């Protein structure tokens, strides 16, 4: 297992291959700032939930360096932030279930968004785990079975301004 | 390859794999029309337990039977619990998974596979990889989902639900029915007579997050992968997804034809169990094992996020 590039995005910082990237915004607005800087012409971004925006933008920055064959992500809270947003559309006395929100009530949608953007027709998988380190054996076992490199790592969002992505481009050797 | 040591199904059709098989053979269905099950939602047809179920308890009960049949020590360090679910226990996925593993005295971190409707097949592929990589000797794969106002309202907002029993692959199919079930399989590195999981594959359509590829690209690639090393004539059964939505069934038909499998008998079980979501891939695999008894079959699924999955099983 070998990591060729990695990115970490928190509500306050972006670190690519160990180097801090200058940003002015924080939280959810940081993701929009990164979208404007690195993409700008993919309006579907604005339809995405925060988890998908986070994974999408982290992937965007990494995959500009190197394309991948598969996307294997994990987190602890699944799609909880967007699940709560969807719940607000089905409260008693205010029942207007939103299909636009419901579609994001699965954490693997972020892997689908990345696959669509980068035309990745290899494997996409999402795991919900107790700890970040629990993803390592799964990625190790996956690399024995799918072509590399893969985009792998942690993609977590528990609220609109509480998130953490730690994504890597990982090779089998 | 990995070996099946034991399995179990709990559904509205009964407790136990054999009882569920007998119910289906007798033509019984769990589907019923619900008009006031959840506030505000429109009438829907689904397969739901008569008594409300506790998610963790249901998973524990179904795993208990499968583990007993397998005769493994679930407390051992070389056993991992893998849970396949979409919404878990009221939107919480990892907490119930930990509670289930803890119930059996298993100290390893459990894994939840959250790959939409394909999760139950993906969980078995994950089991195969972890066992073949030597990380574990046995994997207890549990698939379970409980229907809630959250899920039913969402599928209704997509206009995906039928208020009649679903008709997979029929010209007049009108949509899917949801279902509840808990199914478990113990997969192992230990050679054992019976079913073996020989191959598995997962591919994304890279096309749309809520609709399948019109040419069934991801599913076709999965079928192509799991067909490697076998003759098409040796495939005796195809366990399709068969949700009875307009787009799913049309896409599956195209993928099946592209893979050259159009002459293989298919099994579409959702008219009996509904779409049991996280349970579907595990439950329908067990049903295919019982329907075929021996030979080779492929179980395939597709889901939101554009993900597709297929596994190949053999019993001599």
Average pLDDT on B63-89 reads 98
Closest-CA distance, A19 to chain B, in angstroms, reads 31
Q: What is the pLDDT along chain A (173 residues), one digit of tens a residue?
A: 999 999 999 999 999 999 999 999 999 999 999 999 999 999 999 999 999 999 999 999 999 999 999 999 999 999 999 999 999 999 988 999 999 999 999 999 999 999 999 999 999 999 999 999 999 999 999 999 999 999 999 999 999 999 999 999 999 98
* A residues 25-64 closer than 8 Å to B (CB): none
Let me know if the fold of B2-188 is the same as that of B196-315.
Answer: yes
| Per-residue confidence (pLDDT) for residue A77, from 0 to 100 | 98
The ranges assigned to domains in chain B are 2-188, 196-315
Q: Is the pLDDT of residue B152 over 90?
A: yes
| Per-residue confidence (pLDDT) for residue B62, from 0 to 100 | 98
Closest-CA distance, A153 to chain B, in angstroms, reads 15
User: Do A123 and B204 count as a contact with CB atoms less than 8 A apart?
Assistant: yes
Average pLDDT on B85-96 reads 97
Residue span of the structural domain in which A12 resides? 2-171
User: Do B112 and A127 count as a contact with CB atoms less than 8 A apart?
Assistant: yes
pLDDT tier for residue B313 given thresholds of 50, 70 and 90: very high
| Per-residue confidence (pLDDT) for residue B159, from 0 to 100 | 94
Residue B25: strand, helix, or coil = helix
* B residues 183-222 closer than 8 Å to A (CB): 201-210, 217-218, 221
Write down the CATH number for the domain with range B2-188.
3.40.47.10
Contact A125, B113 (CB under 8 A): yes
Among chain A residues, the shortest Cα distance to B154 is held by: A102
- What's the pLDDT tens digit per position in B193-225? 999 999 999 999 999 999 889 999 999 999 999
CATH number assigned to the domain comprising residue A120: 3.40.47.10
Total of domains in chain A: 1
Chain B positions touching A140 (Cβ under 8 A) are: 133, 135
User: Do A83 and B150 count as a contact with CB atoms less than 8 A apart?
Assistant: yes
| Per-residue confidence (pLDDT) for residue A173, from 0 to 100 | 86
| Per-residue confidence (pLDDT) for residue B80, from 0 to 100 | 98
The Cα-based distances of A44 to A41, A56, A144, B261 in angstroms read 9, 11, 34, 36
Q: Is the pLDDT of residue B230 over 90?
A: yes
| Per-residue confidence (pLDDT) for residue A92, from 0 to 100 | 86
Q: How far apart are CA B59 and CA B283, in angstroms?
A: 13
Our measurement of the distance from residue B136's CA atom to the centroid of its chain's CA atoms, rounded to an integer in Å, reads 22
The 3-state secondary structure of chain A reads: CEEEEEEEECCCCEEECCEEECCCCCHHHHHHHHHHHHCCCCHHHHHCCHHHHHHHHHHHHHHCCCCCCEEEEEECCCCHHHHHHHHCCEECCEECCCHHHHCCCCCCHHHHHHHHHHCCCCCEEEEECCCHHHHHHHHHHHHCCCCCCEEEEEEEEEECCEEEEEEEEEECC
| Per-residue confidence (pLDDT) for residue B211, from 0 to 100 | 87
Candidate from B93, B109, B221 with C-beta closest to A134: B109
| Per-residue confidence (pLDDT) for residue B224, from 0 to 100 | 98
Average pLDDT on B270-286 reads 98
Q: Is the pLDDT of residue B162 over 90?
A: yes
What architecture (CATH level 2) is domain B196-315?
Answer: 3-Layer(aba) Sandwich (3.40)
User: CB of B154 within 8 Å of any CB in chain A?
Assistant: yes
| Per-residue confidence (pLDDT) for residue A158, from 0 to 100 | 97
Q: How confident is the prediction for chain B on average, in pLDDT?
A: 97
Average pLDDT on B32-57 reads 96
| Per-residue confidence (pLDDT) for residue A93, from 0 to 100 | 86
Q: Is the pLDDT of residue B22 over 90?
A: yes
| Per-residue confidence (pLDDT) for residue A22, from 0 to 100 | 97
pLDDT tier for residue B108 given thresholds of 50, 70 and 90: very high
* B residues 230-249 closer than 8 Å to A (CB): none
Among chain A residues, the shortest Cα distance to B210 is held by: A103
């Amino acid at each position: 297992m070998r990591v060729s590039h990695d990115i970490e995005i928190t509500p306050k910082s972006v670190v690519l291959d160990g180097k801090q990237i200058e940003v002015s915004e924080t939280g959810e607005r940081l993701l929009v700032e990164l979208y404007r800087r690195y993409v700008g012409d993919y309006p579907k971004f604005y339809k995405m939930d925060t988890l998908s925006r986070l994974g999408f933008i982290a992937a965007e920055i990494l995959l500009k360096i190197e394309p991948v064959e598969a996307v294997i992500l994990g987190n602890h809270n699944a799609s909880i932030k967007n699940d709560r947003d969807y719940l607000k559309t089905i409260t008693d006395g205010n029942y207007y279930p939103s299909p636009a929100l419901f579609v994001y009530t699965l954490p693997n949608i972020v892997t689908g968004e990345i696959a669509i953007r980068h035309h990745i027709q290899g494997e996409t998988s999402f795991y919900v785990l107790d700890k970040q380190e629990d993803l390592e054996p799964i990625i190790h076992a996956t690399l024995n079975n799918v072509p590399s490199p893969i985009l792998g790592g942690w993609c977590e969002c528990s609220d609109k301004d509480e998130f953490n992505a730690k994504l890597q481009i990982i090779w089998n050797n | 390859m990995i070996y099946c040591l034991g399995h179990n199904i709990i559904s509205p059709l009964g407790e136990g794999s054999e009882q569920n098989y007998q119910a289906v053979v007798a033509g019984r269905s769990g589907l019923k029309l619900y008009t006031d099950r959840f506030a505000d939602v429109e009438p829907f047809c689904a397969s739901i337990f008569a008594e409300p179920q506790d998610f963790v308890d249901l998973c524990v009960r179904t795993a208990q039977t499968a583990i007993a049949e397998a005769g493994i020590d679930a407390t051992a360090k070389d056993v991992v619990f893998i849970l396949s679910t979409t919404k878990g226990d009221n939107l919480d996925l990892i907490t119930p998974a930990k509670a289930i593993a803890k119930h059996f005295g298993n100290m390893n971190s459990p894994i939840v596979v959250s790959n939409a409707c394909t999760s139950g097949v993906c969980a078995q592929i994950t089991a195969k990889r972890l066992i073949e990589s030597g990380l574990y000797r046995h994997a207890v794969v549990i698939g379970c989902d409980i229907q809630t106002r959250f899920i039913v309202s969402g599928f209704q907002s997509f206009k995906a639900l039928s208020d009649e029993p679903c008709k997979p692959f029929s010209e007049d199919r009108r949509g899917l029915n949801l279902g509840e079930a808990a199914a478990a399989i113990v997969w192992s590195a230990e050679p054992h007579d019976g079913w073996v999981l020989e191959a598995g594959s997962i591919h994304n359509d890279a096309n749309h997050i809520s609709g399948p590829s019109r040419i069934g690209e991801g599913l076709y690639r999965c079928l192509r992968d799991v067909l490697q090393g076998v003759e098409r004539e040796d495939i005796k059964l195809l366990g399709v997804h068969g949700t009875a939505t307009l787009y799913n069934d049309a896409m599956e038909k195209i993928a099946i034809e592209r893979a050259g499998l159009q002459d293989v008998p298919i099994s579409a079980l959702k008219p009996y169990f509904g779409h049991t979501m996280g349970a579907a891939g595990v439950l329908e695999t067990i049903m295919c094992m019982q329907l075929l008894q021996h030979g080779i079959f492929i179980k395939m699924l597709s889901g939101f996020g554009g993900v597709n999955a297929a596994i190949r099983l053999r019993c001599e």
